[in-house]
Structure 1
Amino acid sequence: MQTHILGYPRIGAKRELKFALEAYWNGLSGRETLSEIARELRHQNWQAQIDNQLGFITVNDFSLYDHVLDHSQLLGVIPERFQDGSSDAFDTYFRMARGRAPSGTDQRACAMTKWFDTNYHYLVPELSADQVFELNPGKLLTELREAKQLGHPVKPVLLGPITYLWLAKSCQADFDRLSLLPSLLRTYQLLFELLADEGVEWIQIDEPALVLELEADWVNAYTTAYQQLSNPRIKTLLTTYFGGLGSKLEQIAHLPVAGFHLDLTRSGNDYLKLASLLDQDQILSLGVIDGRNIWKSDLTQLSDQLQSLAGKLGERLWLSSACSLLHVPVDLEQEQALDAELKSWLCFARQKLAELNILASVLGGDPTDALDDNFLALKARRASTRIHQPAVKARLTSITPSDASRSSPYAERAPLQRERLNLPLYPTTTIGSFPQTSDIRQARSALRSGKLSAGEYEYVMKQQIKTCIESQQRYGLDMLVHGEAERNDMVEYFAEFLEGYAVSQYGWVQSYGSRCVKPPIIFGDVSRPEPITVGWSRYAQSLTDKPVKGMLTGPVTMLQWAFVRDDQPRATTCLQIALAIRDEVCDLEQAGIHAIQIDEPAIREGLPLLASEWQAYLDWATFAFRVSASGVKNDTQIHTHMCYSQFNDIMPAIADMDADVITIETSRSNMRLLEAFADFDYPNEIGPGVYDIHSPNLPAVADMVRLIELAEQQIPAERLWVNPDCGLKTRGWKEVSAALINMVAAAKTLRENRLLGKTA
C-alpha cells in the first residue's frame, strides 16, 4: 500500500531556517550559507520520509518564506513596484515578502493573510487584468534533481491554478480573475512538460479551494482546467484538504486525473462516495493522519474503518497525511519539557510518518505490536484523572446570560471612560508588546536554567518595564502598555499559568517567514489557580499618571492558537478559558487598571470553511469573549485587537463582542479593510493600524496622517485611535522609537488640522 505525505515542516527541528533567514537579512551571513542550510533541511525532511518507508518523498513543499509566494515567483507574478532592477530574483523574493532585503530598494510588502482556517499566513498574489505569466522553474527543478539523487520515487507538489487565482487579489480595479485562467493554464502545461522531461511520474496538485462554497463559474473552471492539463506523460493527484467536496463531489469525480486525495479527518463519508465513482485505473489517497493536531491517531479505529475499502481498492488505496504537516511541530523525541504520561498521548510530524507506516502494514495484512502500543496509549489517555476538574464543569453549568453582558451599552459607557482616562482626540497607543531584546531572552533563559532566582528575574523584568514606560512617556503616547517583557508569547505565557494546558520545549510551528509560534497543548479542563498579570500591571501603572492597559489574550485565541483536546466540543473548552480570563480581568480592575485589552486576533480564522456553519461558531465564540470581558464596571474600557482579516462578512459578530475599542491591521490595505466597519455603521471606537510593523521600513508622518484622514471618511474622528497595526515584539528599539515618534507627530498634526478646520 502506497504511503506519502502532502508536505513536511520547513523550519527544522530547532528552527534552523528561522535563524539562517534572520542572519541573512541582518547581514550576518551570505546567501550561500542560507542556501546550504536550506538544502540540509530539505535532505533531512526527505530522509525522514525514506526512513519511515513512505512510497514517495514530497518535493517543492520546502520554502524560504511561503509556498504561495514561491508559486508567484514560479509563475512570474511579480508586482511592478519590485521590477525596478535594484535586486536579483533572490532578494526580490524577500522584498515581496517583507518590503526589504539585503539588496534592492525598500517597497511596500505584499499583503499577508491567513491560509484558509489555519494560523499560517501566506503572501497574497497581486494580479492585473493584463497579467503576463512567465515560467521560472529554477527552484523547483533544483530541488527535484536533489531529491532524485537519493534514489527514491519523488512527487513534486504544486499549488493548483484555480486555488492560486482564488487566493489572489486584484491590484487594479476589480476584474474577473478567472479571465486569466487560459494564459495561466498554458504556463502550467509548460511546467507539466518540464516535469515529464525530468522523469516525474506523479504530480501532487493542491486545490484546497475546492472545499469552499464556490460559485458555479469557479466550480466549472475545474473541469476546464483539468481537461486542458490532462497529459499522458504524467499522472496528476488532485489534492483537497481542510474539508469535504459536498455537492461538488460528483462533478469533480469525473475530472480526467489519475487520482484524488481527500482529507479523511474533515470530509465525512465523501471518501466512500468518491471510491464508488473511481475509474478502474484511478487511485484514492486518503488523509488518515491529522495534519492539524498533535494527538495520536486511533489506528485501530482507522484500520477497522478502512479494511473493507482496502480490500476493494487494493494498491489503488494510498494513505497520507490529511494536509501538509507544516501545521505541527517536527519531532516529539527531542521534547524534554513534557512529562512521560502526556508525551505518550502525542504525535508530532516525524511520528506521524511512523503512524502511516503502521497503518499501511496493518491494512496490508502485516500485524505489528505497534498497533497494540497505540491502543494502550489511547486507552490510558481516556482514563487519566488529569483531564477532568469537577469544579470547572460545575462553574460552566452556572453561567447565565447576564454573565455575558456589560451592565450598560457602549453609548452610556463611553463618556464615563473618557472622563476617567482623560484622553485627547486621536488618542495614541500601541497594541501591547515592545521589543523582546537579547537581554530579556537571556534573563528568561537564565531563570529556566537556575542561573537567576525568581526574585532576581522579577527585578530584571521590572527594569525593562520601567524603561518601556519611560520611553512611551518620552514619545508622548496617551495610553501606555507595560511592554510584555516577561512574556515569551501571547498564548504560551498564559498557558504556563493555567491548569489544563501544557507547554512544549521544541513544539515550534511556522506562522510566516521566520516567525514561529509554539502552540501550547490543551489536554484537560482549564482553570486559573491565581492571578497572572496583576503584579506586573500594577507596577507599570505606579510609574505613570497616564493610563496603562492591562494586556490579556482572549479565550478564542487561547483556543485557536493551541493544540486543542479532541475529546469534548471546542465551544466547551473555549468557555472554560473565558472564565479563567474573566477572573484575571476582574482582578486587574480591582488593582486599579481601567483599560484592559483582551486580544482576539484569531476570532475570524476560527470560522468554519463552510458559511452555513459560521453562525453556530460565532455564537459561542462571541459569547465566550463577552463572558471574559463583562465582569467590569462601566468606566473600565475594554479593548480588543484583531490581525489581518476580512471583516465584511462577520461584522454583526464583531459588534456583538461589544468591545469599547477595537484595533485592527489596515495599513497594508490602505485602509480598505475599514470599509466593512463603515458599511456596517460600527458603533464603538476603532484604532486602524497606521503603519505595518511586519516591515522594517520607517513610516513617514505624512503617510500616517493620510491614512487616518482616509479613515475619517469612514469613521467619525471622535471614535478613532492612532496605533501601529500589531505588536512590536519582533522589531528593534531603534525602529520602534523612530516609528512611534513619527506616529505621535502624526496624531498631533491631525489635532492641529482639526483645530484649524482642515479636516472633516
Structure 2
Amino acid sequence: MPKHLLPTTVVGSYPQPEWLVDRAMLSKSVPRTRMHEMWRLPARHLEEAQDDATVIAIREMERAGIDIVTDGEIRRESYSNRFATALDGIDADNPAIITSRNGQQTPVPRVVGKIARGRPVELTDMEFLRRNTDRAAKITLPGPFTMSQQAGDEFYKDDEELAMAFAEAVNAEALDLQRAGADVIQLDEPWVRNNPELAKRYAVKAINRALQGITVPTVVHLCFGYAAVVPGSTKPAGYSFLAELDDTVAEQISIEAAQPKLDLGVLKDLSSKKIMLGVLDLGNSEIEPAFVVADRIRNGLKHVPAERLVVAPDCGMKYLPRAVAFGKLKAMCEAAATVRKEIG
C-alpha cells in the first residue's frame, strides 16, 4: 500500500475497448441481468480478449500515476450483474421485471431459491490483477443491500433476509479475494440512497456481515449513478443515507462529490472513516486541468485531514471515451502530487 499522503485510486471500472464491447449498446443501460450480446467476440476468444483489455486498463492506470489500481472491471457488463447472476438461487435465464416509479421496466435477477455462492466468481480476476501489477490492488464487489434491491424475490419474501443472504455470499467471495492478494476490497452500495428508510433498518448490518473477517482495508462506495445514465441536473445536492455508514466496519467511505458539487460539511458525520473523495466530474467530457482538481482536493482538506483522504473519480469510468478517462486520471494524479507537496 502507498505510504504517502493523498493516495490516488479509481472507483472500479475503466472504459472497455470498442473492439471488445458494443459501446453503443452498453450506453443504453446499466444491466442487472446478463447482456452476452454486448461482447463483440465469440465465447471461444472472449476470455483471451478480456485478459488483453484488462492488461491495457491496468497499464493505463499505472501510466496515469494511480497508486491503487483495479482490473478496470473489464470482464463485467455492469458493476453488479456478473456476481449477482452467478449465485445459486438465481434463475439467470428467466429474469424478473421491476417497474420504476416512472414506469420504466428493468429485467433483474429472479430469486427462486436459497442464495449461496456455489463457486468463486471474481477470484480468477483478482489473481490475474495480482500477477499483472506490483502496485496496490483493489477489487470491487456489489454490496448486499444493492443486490437485494436489484432482484425480484420469489423465495425469501422478506427484504432483510434476502439482503443478509446476499451478504453471506459476498463475504465468502471477499475472503477468497483477500487470500488471493487483494490489498483493498470495495463494496458498491449506491442503492442505499434510493431507499434510505429500508437502508436504515438493515443496510449497515448487511454490510458488516459481508465484510466479516476481512482484515485488509475495506471501502463502501456511494454515488448518485453513472453520469452517462443519470444527468447531473437530476442529481441531489446531498445523500439521504450517509452518516449511518460511520457504524459500518468499513475503513473508508467513497462518495461522489465533484459533479453534484456536494457540500463537504457532511463529512463531519463520518469522523471515524477515511474518505475516498470524488474529485473528477464524469458528467463532463472535458479533461479538467490539474489546478481545478487540486482545488477540489484542497476543499476536501478543509473537512478531512490529509491522512484520512484518498483521491478518486466520482464513480466508475466505463462510459467515458478511453482518452478522456486517461486524461482525467492523469490530471487527478498531477493534482494530488501538487497538493501533497503543499502540505509537506
Aligned equivalents of 1:670 and 1:741: distance in 2? 21
2:255·2:276 contact (CA, 8 Å) conserved in 1? Answer: yes
* C-alpha displacement of 1:509: 7.9
1:193-592 map, 5 Å = 421-441=1-21, 445=36, 451-453=42-44, 456-503=45-92, 518-565=107-154, 568-592=157-181
1:441 counterpart SS class: coil
Change (3 A) 1:510 1:449: farther
Letter of the structure 1 residue corresponding to residue 321 of structure 2: G
2:281·2:313 contact (CA, 8 Å) conserved in 1? Answer: yes
Percent of matched pairs sharing the same residue: 25
* C-alpha displacement of 1:709: 1.0
Q: Deviations over 1:677-714 (max 9, x none)?
A: 22x25211002211221332322211111111111111
Which protein is richer in helix relative to its size?
1
* C-alpha displacement of 1:729: 1.0
Counterpart in 2 of 1:362? none
Counterpart in 1 of 2:287? 698
Normalization by structure 1: what TM-score? Answer: 0.40
1:596-745 map, 5 Å = 596-608=185-197, 617-633=199-215, 636-644=216-224, 650-672=241-263, 674-678=264-268, 680=269, 682-745=271-334
2:280·2:293 contact (CA, 8 Å) conserved in 1? Answer: yes
Change (3 A) 1:667 1:523: same
Letter of the structure 1 residue corresponding to residue 9 of structure 2: T
Aligned equivalents of 1:516 and 1:424: distance in 2? 47
1:622 counterpart SS class: helix
Change (3 A) 1:518 1:691: farther
Residue segments in structure 2 that go unaligned for 5+ positions in a row? 24-34, 225-235
1:553·1:599 contact (CA, 8 Å) conserved in 2? Answer: yes
1:88-127 map, 5 Å = none
Aligned equivalents of 1:492 and 1:589: distance in 2? 21
* C-alpha displacement of 1:471: 0.9
Change (3 A) 1:523 1:505: closer
Change (3 A) 1:510 1:713: farther
Counterpart in 2 of 1:125? none
Counterpart in 1 of 2:26? none
Aligned equivalents of 1:751 and 1:510: distance in 2? 47
Letter of the structure 2 residue corresponding to residue 736 of structure 1: A
* C-alpha displacement of 1:548: 1.1
Residue segments in structure 1 that go unaligned for 5+ positions in a row? 1-420, 609-613, 756-760
Q: Deviations over 1:433-456 (max 9, x none)?
A: 111333222698579899332xx3
Normalization by structure 2: what TM-score? Answer: 0.84
Counterpart in 2 of 1:153? none
2:21 counterpart SS class: helix
Change (3 A) 1:736 1:650: closer
1:181-196 map, 5 Å = none
Letter of the structure 2 residue corresponding to residue 734 of structure 1: A
* C-alpha displacement of 1:499: 1.3
Aligned equivalents of 1:618 and 1:485: distance in 2? 33
1:436·1:485 contact (CA, 8 Å) conserved in 2? Answer: yes
1:498·1:528 contact (CA, 8 Å) conserved in 2? Answer: yes
2:65·2:333 contact (CA, 8 Å) conserved in 1? Answer: yes
Q: Deviations over 1:398-444 (max 9, x none)?
A: xxxxxxxxxxxxxxxxxxxxxxx133211111100111333222698
2:115 counterpart SS class: strand
Counterpart in 2 of 1:73? none
Letter of the structure 2 residue corresponding to residue 735 of structure 1: V
1:430 counterpart SS class: coil
CA RMSD in angstroms comes to 2.8
Letter of the structure 2 residue corresponding to residue 677 of structure 1: L
1:492·1:503 contact (CA, 8 Å) conserved in 2? Answer: no
Letter of the structure 1 residue corresponding to residue 185 of structure 2: I
The structure whose RCO (Cα within 8 Å, separation 6+) is larger is 2
Letter of the structure 2 residue corresponding to residue 623 of structure 1: K
Change (3 A) 1:650 1:541: same
Change (3 A) 1:618 1:660: same
1:447·1:457 contact (CA, 8 Å) conserved in 2? Answer: no
Letter of the structure 2 residue corresponding to residue 658 of structure 1: V
* C-alpha displacement of 1:662: 1.4
Aligned equivalents of 2:302 and 2:180: distance in 1? 39
